Structure 1
Amino acid sequence: MKTIKAHCMVILATILIAGSFLASNNLTGTVNPISLTLLRFVIATLCLAPVVLFTPRFRKQIIRVLPRCMVISFFYSGYFICLFEALKTTTVLNTGTLYTLTPFITTVLCIFLFKMKVGLVQFFAYILGAIGTLWVVFNGSLNSLLSLSLTQGDLIFMLGVCSMCGYTIVMKLLYRKDNVIVLTFCTLLGGTLWMTIATVAMDIPLQWDLLQGNALLSMVYLAIGATLLTSYLYQKASIALNPSSVTAYIYMSPACVALLTFLIHGESISTVILFGIALSAIATLFLQIMNVRNSHKSAH
């Protein structure tokens, strides 16, 4: 039951992150993305601060938990910094394509760090998931995929992909039976500190006063829905699941974006896209089943 609950948490987090793509679209061109990411962390941290700071048993844990969370948030913030730096010289399509490597790279790292065993069938499931995700990203166009060319920005984003892999792995490695609320708060606080350093180092103006109306509502969603809640859900789920199980749901991210776009904006989903979504869903389900079996084998 604990494992099923953890899977449900990651699925909810995947949906919330998919919603962040739509919300981010409302903020395009208003304020520097790194400044927006800093604001996301600031709002999320301030929302959770009263719960932690006014609860004595939570407050006592901060000093013990914060150093480890600074490491966790370093990888989390590093992903965003690499993403926005990469987008100066590459495209959203390229980053979306390279992001599909995250589950596979995470699994390779888990093989070395957690002695996780991956069979040939499971390896092909990762390839199937990547194909399904790429199918959605490129709208089923093989010509678009073949015309993909890598730039310096893509190499920078690959560091971001590795940083995201590191984020899911260090959450597992550094967990010490901490209270998840305190863990989430310290991770968000750490993210705020790292993004502040990045903002100052890159001499980026804040310009938060430019956010008004729908842009402000979108920022609130990004801060609370796609940052605070997802951080809590990932921290909670990572206690019960291995990192490869968590990142396997990334294959469902483009499908969730397509579904939310349909529900919110009424944009239809073509049969070609549905095929890619089906491939991603099958691969994700298969990988989760294989991860559960491998976990049971390791336990015995």
Structure 2
Amino acid sequence: MNPVNFTQANLGMLLWAALIAASFFAAAQVSRAIDPVLLTALRLLFSALLFVPLLWSRGLSSMTLAALAAHGALGLLLALYFGSLFEALRHTSAVNTGTLYTLVPLLTLLFEGWLLPGDSRRRRLLPMLTAAAGALLLILKGGAPDQLPSWYAMGVYGLGCLAMAAYPPLSQRFKAGSLQGRSPAAMTFWNMLFGSLFLFVACLASGGWRSASLLTGNDLLWLLYLAMFATLATFWLLHRAIGVIAPSTVISYVYLSTLFLTLFHWLWLGQAPHPGELLGVLLVALGMLGLVRSSRPKAITA
């Protein structure tokens, strides 16, 4: 696959942010009686299987033990993130987890400095902080300020956020080594396959697999939609952009998902914007603009 240029990668990440925002509404259509870890394992597995015909038609590339280990490590990071999220949501609100997630791009910037060479990280810190502050204003509008989050939940989810923060720079590090030349489709397939296997093991250990009997045809259709658009497409776009855009900027596009969700509530649900939301939208827009302008690498690689 030919590498995309800087503009194409950023346009793809705009689509990524929109798909992530839309996934929240689609996920709400799936029955809540089903174990969420099982649902995520099925989403990742369905998404991986959808790539099989494409990879088969192009010929399966050779797989070394080092490449399998790299995919296993990246899949484990995905499983750790989703597992920690669902465990945290048993003890705290989505507002609290969403607030903590705003730290992920900043943590990614730290991992980027450790795993990848380069000297442009300081130029991205201020715009990233600006976008994070804006996202916090948008997320916290629905929070209860007098309700303290569970320290256990925040600790568990904090570990998951570390796993997600390490995913983009570690992926780029592997693509320069044991996964060199691996296409975005192959990266997405193997990482999701390993991630789903780890989550299925977690379901077996917790007993969550028993809720599979509650799956209906409607649930499976929504899972298929989520697998195609909210998982497969977004991770393909993510791997398409990694290496063209700085990893910390790639993951910062999650701030635009928060902005898109807010715009949806204004434009389609008819909710009047609050002054804090208007300031949040402005900060996210300015911060992301600064991030994109400061993230063009000196040497673009596939």
Settle same-fold status: TM greater than 0.5: yes
Partners of 2:32 and 2:94 lie apart in 1 by 14
Letter in 1 for 2:158: M
Distance 1:200 1:211, change over 3 A: closer
Matches within 5 A, 1:33-44: 33-44=36-47
Partners of 1:16 and 1:248 lie apart in 2 by 15
Q: Is the 8 A contact 2:115 2:173 kept in 1?
A: no
* Structure 1 residue 255: Cα displacement: 1.1
Q: Is the 8 A contact 1:62 1:186 kept in 2?
A: no
Q: Which residue of 1 aligns with 2:278?
A: 274
* Structure 1 residue 32: Cα displacement: 0.8
Does 2:168 align with 1:157? no
Partners of 2:220 and 2:300 lie apart in 1 by 48
Residue 13 of structure 1, aligned match among 12, 16, 24: 16
Q: Is the 8 A contact 2:131 2:288 kept in 1?
A: yes
Residue 98 of structure 2, aligned match among 96, 99, 102: 96
* Percentage of pairs with the same residue: 28
Matches within 5 A, 1:209-228: 209-212=213-216, 214-228=218-232
Tell me the secondary structure at the aligned position of residue 242 of structure 2. Answer: helix
Matches within 5 A, 1:66-215: 66-117=68-119, 122-139=124-141, 144-145=144-145, 148-175=148-175, 176-212=180-216, 214-215=218-219
Q: Is the 8 A contact 1:87 1:153 kept in 2?
A: yes
Unaligned runs of 5+ in 2: none
* Structure 1 residue 249: Cα displacement: 1.2
Distance 1:113 1:211, change over 3 A: same
Tell me the secondary structure at the aligned position of residue 240 of structure 1. Answer: coil
Q: Which residue of 2 aligns with 1:59?
A: 60
Q: Is the 8 A contact 1:125 1:283 kept in 2?
A: yes
Partners of 1:145 and 1:61 lie apart in 2 by 53
Q: Is the 8 A contact 2:249 2:292 kept in 1?
A: yes
Letter in 1 for 2:166: G
RMSD (Å) for aligned C-alpha atoms: 2.6
Partners of 2:299 and 2:61 lie apart in 1 by 38
Q: How many residues align?
A: 292
Distance 1:209 1:139, change over 3 A: same
Matches within 5 A, 1:45-56: 45-53=48-56, 55=57
Letter in 1 for 2:216: Q
Partners of 2:233 and 2:79 lie apart in 1 by 16
Letter in 2 for 1:189: L
Does 2:231 align with 1:258? no
Partners of 2:61 and 2:123 lie apart in 1 by 47
Q: Is the 8 A contact 2:84 2:159 kept in 1?
A: yes
Unaligned runs of 5+ in 1: none
Partners of 1:91 and 1:161 lie apart in 2 by 16
